[in-house]
Chain A
């Protein structure tokens, strides 16, 4: 059974760095074809794709946020970590992680429940 769960602070101050962890089970990021994405959704707004890391440690980033984002993985812990620097109120959103499987040509077949991050002083 595939599950993902996001964890991290619910509240961060402006200019701080946000670190979120996606802990997953039911698959391995050392398996060829597997990947994990981060997506966010401001309250009442649309989904925004942020970043992806794959089994081969290739990393892809949102064009508008790439100078502020870092994605990494710890295969032994089944975790993917997203770092977003210089947080601002506009970064207030629910942050999701989701699995992808290039072998089956699937993206986002499993999602975590999301974690709401509020940016406020």
Chain B
């Protein structure tokens, strides 16, 4: 079973700044099967990135993903007020399809 560890737990930044969120896997994940989600209070998660670096439909290009093997990163350049939320990574290459514990991005 692959365990995903996200860091930091909380990231405090200001609008306009750049955010870098980490997702580390307990063993190698195919880059084809790593996704990032955004969740706002009271809402279902929203897919941001699939296959490590492919933005989902309608996702602004300030969101980008990268990495390989056991280390993956979600980068948000020039934070907008609506970007402050909780972010989760998920691997779906090996069942069970685990999530990380989340990173809260706060103002």
Instruction: Give the interface of A toward B (CB within 8 A).
Output: 37, 39, 46-49, 52, 60-63, 96, 98, 100, 105-109, 111-114
Q: Which of B16-24, B65-73, B77-85, B91-99 lies at the interface with chain A?
A: B91-99
Say yes or no: B44 contacts A109, CB within 8 Å: no
Say yes or no: A107 contacts B99, CB within 8 Å: no
- The residue in B50, B56, B97, B101 that gathers the most chain A C-beta atoms within 10 A of its C-beta is B97
Q: Which of B1, B44, B54, B101 contacts A114 (CB 8 A)?
A: B44
Say yes or no: B97 contacts A49, CB within 8 Å: yes
Closest CB of chain A to B31's CB: distance in Å?
Answer: 10
Say yes or no: B88 contacts A107, CB within 8 Å: no
Closest CB of chain A to B42's CB: distance in Å?
Answer: 9
B contact residues around A60 at 8 Å (CB): 95-97
Say yes or no: B44 contacts A105, CB within 8 Å: no
Say yes or no: B45 contacts A108, CB within 8 Å: yes
Say yes or no: A47 contacts B102, CB within 8 Å: yes
Closest CB of chain A to B55's CB: distance in Å?
Answer: 12
Say yes or no: B97 contacts A107, CB within 8 Å: yes
Chain A residue at minimum C-beta to C-beta distance from B35: A107
Q: Which of A63, A96, A113 contacts B96 (CB 8 A)?
A: A63
Closest CB of chain B to A7's CB: distance in Å?
Answer: 15
Chain A residue at minimum C-beta to C-beta distance from B99: A47
Say yes or no: A61 contacts B51, CB within 8 Å: no
B contact residues around A63 at 8 Å (CB): 1, 96
Q: Which of A48, A52, A114 contacts B99 (CB 8 A)?
A: A48
- The contact sample of 29 A-B pairs, CB cut-off 8 A, is A39-B99, A46-B102, A47-B45, A47-B88, A47-B90, A49-B90, A49-B96, A52-B95, A52-B97, A60-B95, A60-B96, A61-B96, A63-B96, A96-B45, A105-B32, A105-B33, A105-B50, A105-B51, A105-B54, A106-B56, A107-B33, A107-B35, A107-B90, A107-B92, A107-B97, A108-B45, A108-B47, A109-B47, A109-B50
